[in-house]
Amino acid sequence: MSAVRRAKASGHPGRDAFSETWNEPTGFPGGMATVDNFQIGVRFLVTSFSFFLVAGAFALLMRVQLARADNDFLGPDVYNRLFTMHGTVMMYLFAVPFQEGMAAVLLPWMLGGRDLAFPRLTAFSYWVFLFSGLIFFSGFLFDAVADVGWFAYTPLSAPAFAANGIDFWVVGLGAAEVAGIAAGSELAVSILRLRAPGMALHRMPLYAWAWLATAVMIVFAFTTLLIATLLLELDHDLGTRFFDDQRGGNHLLWQHLFWFFGHPEVYIIFLPATGVVSMIVGAFAGRIVGYTWIVVAILLTGFLSFGLWVHHMYTTGLPELSLYFFAGASLMIAIASGVQIFAWIASLWRRRPVLAAPLLFVLGFVFIFVLGGLTGVMVAVVPFDLQVHDTYFLVAHFHYVLIGGAVFPMMGGVYYWLPKFCGRMPNERLGKWSFWLTFLGFNATFFPMHVMGLLGMPRRVYTYPASLGIEGYNLFATVGAFVLAAGFAAFVINVLYALRYGAEASQNPWGGDSLEWALPSPPNFALYPRLPTISSRHPLWQQETDSSLDHPWQHVVEALDHRPEEWRATLLVDMISGEPQAIARLAQPSYMPLVASVGIVLVTVGTIAKLFLLIPVGVLISVAALFKWHWPSRTELELMRTSSLPKETGLPIFTTGSNSLGWMGMLFVVAVLGWSVGTLLYSYFYLRLYSDEWPQGGLPLPDRLLPAAMFAAIGLAAAAFGWAWSSFRAAHKLRSMVGLAAGIALLASFLVVHVVQLSREEFTPQTNAYGSIFFVLSWTVDLVVLIGLGMAAMTMARAWLEGKHWQLFLALSVQMTAHYGYFAAGVAAVVYGTLYLSPYGI
């Protein structure tokens, strides 16, 4: 593929240089350094689909076991591991990463940028994802596979009951979350800032809208789970007491945190799929009506999905009033989903569409998803859920929602975009076969499960007695599962067939409206050597009427045609209006993402194998790689400085604040850290709410004064960084450096005193849940401070080395340090108030 995609030499020297700059290393080991969104996206797709096939095979084994009553094909140990891994792999290693891979490829194509915002982060995300999958599966080599379910309820997953398989599960999951958060942040920034000139928010393809909501949801939902799994792993490795009910821990805390992630997760999987559906419906119907309705529905779904988590906990004995709050919110989701469904039907009303494979999968999606949505409303009804919760009715419901709501659109999407990926068409006849086998097999497998649940079959049972009268349904479902598997096999064969023998595809075989259909198939590395201009919602349909020469940003596009030649850049636009704001540099290929992810692997291996010395080694490698990754190349900086593009376009290259990708990236780092702190604060007050005494175990109230002085140092450091930034803007380099140095000194002294103070507390993280949350919150402050120290130190080091152009090159660094400092001060204030003041009152 790389040979095809190598940018074609045009005989024009500038163009050759441009192509050379954008060429990606291939082969081994060069390919390991690639940062190209297409290559990495395809890696995501292939890797996650492989995981899907393995988890699907697990499901077939489970169906064989359940085909007969009192069957002993697998036995409980194997069965329980398989259902745990099936759910875990499908949710964490397939559903989200597959769609992230698709988004990584499609979003720059659709939005008209030359790559994603943080190309190296794309690579990092992939490597961490790949390693997380390998960690999950390596449990099989050591006969240490988790058997606690994908939801890992405590105390079954806590130290008292869980075997060592849980380490592979928790640590693998932690890595998968890091990968997901990285991808989510990157996609959000890319959608917000890297669009073609003129692509205002209201002209953005619906797929991008769906991903904008999803990416933000990923950041918050995955961070919550990251903290939950961290607490669980600390219970295992450090002996903390978060989930030890004898020592003040609370099992419902896990359920709250897990479902605060787990419910949005369903919509994280579903929303991008609705984006795919909107694109396919648009192409096949030749229009999309209700664009604004769909956008509002997407945002409403994303927002509401965070207010539903308790509907997974109706049977835990929570107060009924609170249940009805969540039931109400759950039912409102029906409106958001209904709007999208009816908008698609209204769009299709236009003409008799060709029933090609992509549309067939969309129609199958509507059929299945409407059924799954309706049973979803049923299970949100509190009394009915008391019966069907944790039964096969639920298994049926969520497979309708997840396979119908996400896998069908994904398969349709693969058929739809495959011609763009490889320049060849899938086989239509085989496509129809794959659809009907999948559709019929799916319904045959999962429809009877509704009935099985109502007849009293609980979930997660490895066997059932013949006397329950559910054997016939089970046998039917097992047969259906093999038909479904045949459908997936036909799909795989079709894709492989298309890659090699497919008929040559035209540029826009389905008549799509979005920008990617104007690209060659497959596109060049730089995607858009000449950036497109946008003046409508459907650029490809309105090409003829659109006289692009009149476009207000024509001169910018002309200036950037096959330029800059020696460094990678794309346009950064205003979030709302899509007007160009700056020329954004994009990173070159690098091995550092791989090295940083290897550092993370060392941390995970150290955790699993209890070789705790490996952990600091891994952290050190990752941090070093991160510094090298972000250290700008001097030659590149010089090229950027001397570029004539700002003069020609009127757009800056060196920017600060929200007009710079770096600052946007930091915004997401701060969001992740802030949300982590928020999750821990929630845990603190949750534990306190269900404790008879606080502090627990008769511990004394914390001292208020010394910590106040200590935490105030963080505020002073923030003030020093702020002063450094204002001095910087006033062109006082020396004062600015003094400010940074003062801040560094303050933060460092905080760390030293804090560590000493913690070591002198009369309790430890192991004492009780109060001690655990106290220490973990304190360490989180330390982490926030350390990151600030790192940023300030890197800025100072660069200031030391930069010559006369320091004002140009360093502005962003100093500004980010200052803004991060404010955030750190905020965290310090809130944590101080919680740990040291709240026990006295509130």
Partner 1 sequence: MRIAVAQWHVGVALLAAVFLAGCAGESNQSAMDPAGPAAAEIAWLWWIMFWVFTAVFVLVMLLLLGALYGKRDRSNDDQAQPPLGPNGFIVAGGFLLPIMVVTPLYLLSLKTSASIGPPREALTVRIVGHMWWWEVRYPEQDIVTANEIHIPAGQPVRLELASADVIHSFWAPRLHGKRDLIPGVENVFWIEADEPGIFRGQCAEYCGTQHANMAFQVIALPADEFDAWLAERSNPAVDPAVAQARRGFEVFMSAGCAQCHAVRGTPANGNVGPDLSHIGSRQMIGAAMLSNTRGNLMGWIADPQAIKPGVKMPRTYLDGDSLLALVVYLEGLR
Q: Which residue has the tokens 């291939």?
A: 26
β-sheet bridge partners, residue 424: 504
Q: How far is the CB of 388 from partner 1 (least distance, A)?
A: 7
Instruction: Select 77 or 703, whichever has its Cβ closest to partner 1.
Output: 77
User: Collapsing DSSP states into helix, strand and coil, what is residue 289?
Assistant: coil
Between 324 and 612, CB nearer to partner 1: 324
Asked whether the beta carbons of 469 and 391 are under 8 A apart, the reply is no
Kindly tell me which of 81 and 193 has the beta carbon lying closer to partner 1.
Answer: 81
Which of these, 830, 823, 819, 826, lies nearest to 795 by C-alpha position? 819
**Terminal CA-to-CA distance of the chain, rounded, Å?**
63
CB of 498 to partner 1, least distance (A): 25
CB of 258 within 8 A of CB of 227?
Answer: no
Nearest approach, Cβ of 319 to partner 1 (angstroms)?
12
Tell me how far, at minimum, the Cβ of 361 lies from partner 1, in Å.
12
Closer residue to partner 1 in complex, CB, 239/469: 469
Looking at this protein, which amino acid is placed at residue 619? V
For residue 686, the minimal CB distance to partner 1 (Å) is 13
Residue nearer to partner 1 on the CB measure, 348 or 515: 348
- How far, in Å, CA of 571 to CA of 828, rounded? 37
Buried-exposed string 147-172: b where 16+ CB fall within 10 A, e elsewhere: bbbbbbebbbbbbeebebbbbbbbbb
Contact 404, 398 (CB under 8 A): no
Q: How far apart are CA 165 and CA 720, in angstroms?
A: 48
Q: Name the residue nearer to partner 1 (CB basis): 415 or 823.
A: 415
d(CA 576, CA 198): 10
Nearer to partner 1, 377 or 741 (CB): 377
Work out how close the CB of 83 gets to partner 1 at its nearest, in angstroms, rounded to a whole number.
9
> Cα–Cα distance between 125 and 119 in angstroms, integer?
10
Q: How far is the CB of 158 from partner 1 (least distance, A)?
A: 9
Q: Cβ closer to partner 1: 228 or 751? A: 228
Closest to partner 1 by CB, 337 or 817: 337
**Shortest Å distance, C-beta 378 to partner 1:** 5
Of 342 and 627, CB closest to partner 1 = 342
Residues 6+ apart with CB under 8 A from 754: 710, 778, 781, 782
Q: Which residues pair with 582 in a beta bridge?
A: 572
| Neighbouring residues of 409: CB distance < 8 A, sequence distance ≥ 6 | 273, 274, 276, 277, 280, 361, 362, 365
Phi and psi at residue 227, to the nearest 5°: -65, -45
Residue with tokens 């000194």, as numbered in its chain: 745
Provide the minimum distance between the beta carbon of 482 and partner 1 in the complex, in angstroms, as a whole number: 17
Residue 96 vs 366, nearer CB to partner 1: 366
Query: Residue 169: which of 243, 87, 238 has the closest Cα?
Result: 87
Residue type, 294: I
Comparing CB distances to partner 1, the nearer of 289 and 831 is 289
Q: How far is the CB of 461 from partner 1 (least distance, A)?
A: 4
Give the span between the Cα atoms of 814 and 724, in whole angstroms: 7
- DSSP structural state of residue 584: E
Q: Which is nearer to partner 1, 117 or 283 (CB)?
A: 283
Minimum Å gap between C-beta 289 and partner 1 is 4
CB of 380 to partner 1, least distance (A): 9
Closest distance of CB 210 from partner 1, Å: 17
Closest CA to 817 of 748, 718, 715: 718
Rounded to the nearest 5°, which phi and psi values hold at 464?
Answer: -150, 150
Say if residues 596 and 626 touch (Cβ distance below 8 Å).
Answer: yes
Contact between residue 93 and residue 51 where contact means Cβ atoms under 8 Å apart: yes
Give the helix ranges, DSSP H, for 309-400: 320-348, 357-380, 382-388, 392-399
Residue 99 to residue 115: CA distance in whole angstroms: 17
Least separation in angstroms between residue 356's CB and partner 1 is 13
**Of 732, 706, 737, whose CA–CA distance to 720 is shortest?**
737
Q: Give the Å distances, CA to CA, from 754 to 243, 443, 543, 706.
A: 26, 59, 63, 10
Nearer to partner 1, 299 or 454 (CB): 454
Q: 512 in helix, strand or coil?
A: coil
In the complex, minimum distance from the CB of residue 21 to partner 1, in angstroms, rounded to a whole number: 45
Please identify, using beta-carbon distances, which residue of 559 and 687 lies nearer to partner 1: 687
Q: Which residue has the tokens 């978060």?
A: 242
Size (the chain), residues: 842
Nearer to partner 1, 183 or 327 (CB): 327
Q: Kindly state the smallest distance separating residue 387's Cβ from partner 1, in Å.
A: 4
d(CA 701, CA 714): 23
Rounded to a whole number of angstroms, the minimum distance from the CB of residue 601 to partner 1 is: 30
Q: Which is nearer to partner 1, 251 or 732 (CB)?
A: 251
Instruction: Tell me how far CA of residue 784 lies from CA of 236, 674, 678, 778, 822, in angstroms.
Output: 24, 9, 13, 10, 11
